[in-house]
C-alpha cells in the first residue's frame, strides 16, 4: 500500500513507560512504511491547562491553537487510548475539549468542530489486562462521533501489553503487528478516498 496521506498519531498518556505511547510509536512506524506523511505528537509537549471557561475567556492558550492546527491539517488520525477506571484518560478528554472549543472572534477557529469534522480516526489501546483497554475505546467512540469524526470500523485493543513489546519497543507477536497494521491501513485508505480531490 502506498499513500502520501498526512497521518497524525498520538496517545492519551504522558507516562514515561506508557504502553499506549509505545503502541503509538509502532503505529507511526507502520504509517511511514505505508508511505504516509506521519506526524507523531506527544501531548506532554503541549502546555494545555485544565479546561476552564473563565480561563478561556482570558485568551485561548497558544498550544491549544497549535493543537487545533495539527488536528485540522491531518485527515487521518490514530489515537491510542489508555484505560483509566474503564474509560479514556482525563488528559485526552481535556485536549479534545480545548481543541473543540470555539475561539471567539478568531477568523479560523470560531467553528469549534473545524479541527475534527471529517477526520478518519482509528482507535488503538493497550493494557496489561485481558481486555486491552477496550472499554476506553467504547467510551471514546461516541465522543469522536459527536465531534463529527469518521471512525474506522477496524480497531485493536492489545491485551497483556506489559509483555507485548520487546526491549526496542517493537511488538513481539507478528499477529499483533498485523492487527495494528490493519487499522492504520484502513484509516489511510478511507481518508484517501474521503478527502480525494473532486
Q: What integer pLDDT is reported at residue 2 of this predicted model?
A: 47
Chain center to CA of 138: 14
Evaluate if residue 35 carries a pLDDT over 70.
yes
Residue 177 resides in a domain: yes
Residue 1 resides in a domain: no
Q: What integer pLDDT is reported at residue 197 of this predicted model?
A: 78
E strands, the chain, in order = 6-11, 37-40, 76-80, 120-126, 150-151, 156-158
Cα Rg of the chain, angstroms = 16
Q: How open is the CA angle 119-182-198, to the nearest 5 degrees?
A: 40
Residue 121 resides in a domain: yes
Residue 133 resides in a domain: yes
Residue 181 resides in a domain: yes
Whole-Å CA distances, 109 to 10, 18, 63, 192: 22, 32, 13, 24
User: Exposed, middle or buried, 153 (CB in 10 Å: 0-12/13-18/19+)?
Assistant: exposed
Structural contact between residues 127 and 121, judged by C-beta atoms closer than 8 angstroms: no
The predicted model gives 26-41 an average pLDDT of: 98
Nearest partner of 43 among 101, 90, 6, 109, judged by Cα: 90
Q: What integer pLDDT is reported at residue 198 of this predicted model?
A: 64
Residue 165 resides in a domain: yes
Supply the range of the domain harboring residue 11.
6-194
Q: Which CATH number do you get for residue 11?
A: 3.40.50.360
Average pLDDT over all residues of the chain: 96
Residue 66 resides in a domain: yes
- Tally of domains in the chain: 1
* DSSP tally for the chain: helices H, then strands E: 6, 6
Evaluate if residue 99 carries a pLDDT over 70.
yes
The predicted model gives 59-67 an average pLDDT of: 96
Give the number of C-alpha atoms closer than 13 A to the C-alpha of residue 30, restricted to the C-beta side. Answer: 25
Amino acid at each position: 500500500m502506498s499513500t502520501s496521506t498526512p497521518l497524525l498519531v498520538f496517545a492519551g498518556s504522558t507516562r514515561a513507560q506508557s504502553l499506549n505511547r509505545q503502541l503509538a510509536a509502532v503505529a507511526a512506524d507502520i504509517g511511514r512504511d505505508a508511505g504516509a506523511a506521519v506526524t507523531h505528537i506527544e501531548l506532554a509537549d503541549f502546555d494545555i491547562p485544565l479546561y476552564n471557561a473563565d480561563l478561556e475567556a482570558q485568551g485561548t492558550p497558544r498550544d491549544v491553537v497549535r493543537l487545533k492546527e495539527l488536528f485540522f491539517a491531518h485527515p487521518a488520525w490514530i489515537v491510542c487510548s489508555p484505560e483509566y477506571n474503564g474509560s479514556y484518560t482525563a488528559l485526552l478528554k481535556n485536549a479534545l475539549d480545548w481543541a473543540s472549543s470555539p475561539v471567539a472572534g478568531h477568523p479560523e477557529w470560531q467553528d469549534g468542530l473545524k479541527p475534527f469534522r471529517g477526520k478518519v480516526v482509528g482507535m488503538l489501546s493497550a493494557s496489561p489486562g485481558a481486555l486491552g483497554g477496550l472499554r476506553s475505546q467504547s467510551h471514546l467512540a461516541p465522543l469522536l462521533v459527536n465531534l463529527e469524526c469518521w471512525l474506522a470500523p477496524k480497531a485493536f485493543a492489545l491485551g497483556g501489553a506489559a509483555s507485548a513489546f520487546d526491549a526496542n519497543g517493537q511488538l513481539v507477536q507478528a499477529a499483533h503487528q498485523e492487527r495494528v497494521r490493519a487499522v492504520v491501513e484502513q484509516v489511510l485508505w478511507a481518508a484517501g478516498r474521503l478527502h480525494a480531490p473532486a
